[in-house]
Amino acid sequence: MTTLTPRRRAARIFVPVLAVAMTALAGCSASSEPTATDASADAAWTYTDDTGTTVTLDHQPENIASYADYAIGMMSYGLEPVAIFGRQDVASDDRFADYDLSDVAIVGNSYGEIDLEALAAAAPDIIVTGIYPTDREGTLPVDGPYYAFADVEQQAQLEKIAPVVAIEIGGNGSDVIDSFNNLASALGVSDETIADAKTEYDAAAADLTAATTENDLEITQAYADADGVYVVKPEDEPETALYGSLGVNFTNLNPDGDYYWDIYSWENVGDMMTGDVLLMNVEGLQEEGLLEQATFVDDPALQAGQVYPWQVAAFDYASQAAQMTELADIIRNADKVA
């Protein structure tokens, strides 16, 4: 997973490398004893993650190492990880712009590259990352490696430092948020804090639905590189599945085809030019690069300048509320061109 394969290339950052997702959440739901209301730092702590793995500690975790996407959600709830690893430079990641990282050990800035010594020095109680289904049936690669880990050998080394807790990134995005919230509660986040965040999330969701009724557009979410365009299957990616349930009309030309992507070479890319708006994965070609592709230059959305860099948001209420607000604004200000 250190390289970008076609099916993973554009999703969790809208995907580039990002692992795949599914249409129905089939994994185990997370559960925890004690919960946020009956746990204390001195009490034994037990948590069963989305792979069905149970982690038991003699105290509620206080030192948490996390993949960047879940660290963002934790910080939005007032938890500060002791270490963060990401698939891009964490310090310059705009998603952390509102948070102080001065006391956080940045132990990885590229997918699969984690400084084990620096991570061990941070002394985490648990390490949090994601796990993606490999098909629409929700099959989880429980034998590893989990997302963000280079291989099973690296995962084994990480597990010697601290237990790994995995969040399933599959099904509808609301399911992923619920899983993240289960973990947050188990880590001591209050019900009130989560409820307050949900209030803003619900308002953003309602506004996104309103935008779709005001302006009926088709949205194409994709990744592009020298090989061609990878169009996400909206029911296979949790974020697009969530937004689709709220009324967003995503390009879905071959829903029963291969999992996660419809893949178009530059020779046959004309077949997918049906969207009014292009949301292009931030790690791939953007408007300037797309205009250099002779077979794509006539795309209606591209010609209209309705091309937006896009990165799938973290699956917490605050991140998704901001993402939905941005998408609603894009929809309201776009024209129907295809």
Copy the structure tokens of residue 213: 């009724």
Amino acid in position 326: E
Measured distance CA(277)–CA(282) in Å, rounded = 15
Amino acid in position 133: P
* 5 has a pLDDT exceeding 60: no
CATH of range 198-333; options 3.40.50.920, 3.30.70.1290, 3.40.50.1980, 3.30.70.1450: 3.40.50.1980
Give per-residue pLDDT as tens, 156-186. Answer: 999 999 999 999 999 999 999 999 999 999 9
Instruction: State the average pLDDT for the chain.
Output: 89
Tell me the mean pLDDT in the region 128-154.
96
Copy the structure tokens of residue 329: 């604004």
Measured distance CA(316)–CA(138) in Å, rounded = 21
pLDDT for 37: 37
Backbone phi, psi, residue 57, to 5°: -125, 165
Superfamily of 31-189 according to CATH: Nitrogenase molybdenum iron protein domain (3.40.50.1980)
Share of the chain above pLDDT 70, in %: 88
* 61 has a pLDDT exceeding 70: yes
Are 71 and 107 a contacting pair, CB within 8 Å? no
pLDDT for 42: 67
Length of the chain: 338
State how beta strands 54-57 and 105-108 pair.
unpaired
Give per-residue pLDDT as tens, 76-118. Answer: 999 999 999 999 999 999 899 999 999 999 999 999 999 999 9
* 20 has a pLDDT exceeding 70: no
Domain segments of the chain as ranges: 31-189, 198-333
Give per-residue pLDDT as tens, 23-41. Answer: 232 333 333 333 333 445 5
Model pTM score: 0.87
Secondary structure letter of residue 107 according to DSSP? E
pLDDT for 74: 97
Give per-residue pLDDT as tens, 309-333. Answer: 999 999 999 999 999 999 999 999 9
Measured distance CA(181)–CA(47) in Å, rounded = 13
pLDDT band at 231 (very low <50, low <70, confident <90, very high): very high
